[in-house]
Amino acid sequence: MATDVDLQPPAWMDGTTVPAAELRRQLLGLVVPQEGIIRGMVVQALPTPDMRVRVSGPGMAALSDGAGGYYPADLLADADLDVASSSSTLNRRDAVIISMNDTGTAAGNAYRLRIITGTAAASPSLPTLPPADEPDATYLLIGDVYVRAGAETDGYIRNQDITNPAPNALLGAGEWHPLDLASGLQQAPYDDAPGWRFLLPGMVQVRGTLERTDGQPITTGTILATLPPEARPASLVHFVSAGQSSGGERAARPEVRPDGTIRSFHSPYEPGWIGMRGILFEATGAA
């Protein structure tokens, strides 16, 4: 039993020696609710596309150290990373990461941006992370680069080949959860995996682009997916999103119903794919 218990020494109190782990926890832990991007650090194609990607700077991110603190990743200016040559026949996914390898010694520590080359395959996936040469590193995935077969002769690396999956560290958004897709629908290429999350407490955000598994157009009124009970609106909500037809991109009108179903309405055309990034609404459940 005790009537008082010492706290950890404040990092900014004169005469106090504070380990690095406590500095990370007390300083960044005060203002950063989760790991992610603070500013900049957007992975994008170069203005004149080639086999490189650019990470925008100045930028900063926070990486969890696993003990309640955060490593700051500080990028002073734009940084370009080389993308390995494409396969002539198969697509590939490369990972752009921020890597923090804290060995406890100044000589052994490493903190850098890296691009990790994936394996070309019929259905490519991201490479194993952390990479084999830094198995104990803390990392944050900030770019998913879809390297198309023969990219060097077909536009190189384009912005539509890149997704930026890292959350916003200051927004405090929750983790993405897989979206329960309706039978016969699947994720369309070049977009993040379909999912939902609490962007803020009680505020649901949906992402992903869907297409039919048989390659046919999506008919109006089709149920695209179903949200769980905690992520459903109290009443019907409507949105406008992108759709695609033989005539190019056109608008679709997805709606979310209180039963959690997401449906899309579009007339007089039937799109080959439907985007859901504009779906954001207040839910009846709690985050």
pLDDT digits (tens, 9 = 90+) for 233-284: 999 999 988 877 666 667 788 999 999 999 998 877 788 888 888 899 998 7
Running DSSP on this structure, what letter comes out for residue 20? H
DSSP H or E stretch at residue 21? helix 20-23
CA pair distance 161, 26, nearest whole angstrom: 39
How many other C-beta atoms lie within 10 A of the C-beta of residue 89?
A: 9
CA angle 231, 186, 127 (to 5 degrees): 95
The edge-to-edge listing of strands for the beta sheet with 92-101 is: 110-116, 92-101, 138-147, 162-163
Give the pLDDT confidence score for residue 6 in this predicted structure. Answer: 56
Domain limits of the chain? 20-28+35-163, 177-282
Nearest partner of 166 among 83, 69, 68, 61, judged by Cα? 61
CA pair distance 210, 213, nearest whole angstrom: 9
8 Å CB contact between 165 and 60:
no
Q: Which CATH class is domain 177-282?
A: mainly beta
CA pair distance 221, 19, nearest whole angstrom: 59
Encoded tokens for 172: 């405090």
Give the pLDDT confidence score for residue 241 in this predicted structure. Answer: 83
SS3 state of residue 141: strand
Give the pLDDT confidence score for residue 286 in this predicted structure. Answer: 43
For the chain, the 3-state helix, strand and coil shares in percent, each to the nearest 5, are 5, 40, 55
CA pair distance 215, 186, nearest whole angstrom: 10
Q: Integer distance in angstroms from the first to the last C-alpha of the chain? A: 36
SS3 state of residue 22: helix
DSSP H or E stretch at residue 31? helix 29-31
The predicted-structure confidence for 220-229, as pLDDT tens digits, reads as follows: 999 999 999 8
User: Could you say which residues of the chain have pLDDT below 70?
Assistant: 1-16, 26, 30, 171-173, 190, 201, 245-249, 285-287
φ, ψ at 162 (rounded to 5°):
-120, 135
* Sign of the torsion formed by the C-alpha atoms of 163, 168, 171 and 176: positive
Encoded tokens for 269: 């055309």
**Which residues in 229-260 are b (16+ Cβ under 10 Å) and which e?**
eebbbeeebebebbbbbeeeeeebbbbbbeeb
Give the pLDDT confidence score for residue 11 in this predicted structure. Answer: 59
Q: 205 forms bridges with which residues in the sheet?
A: 197, 280
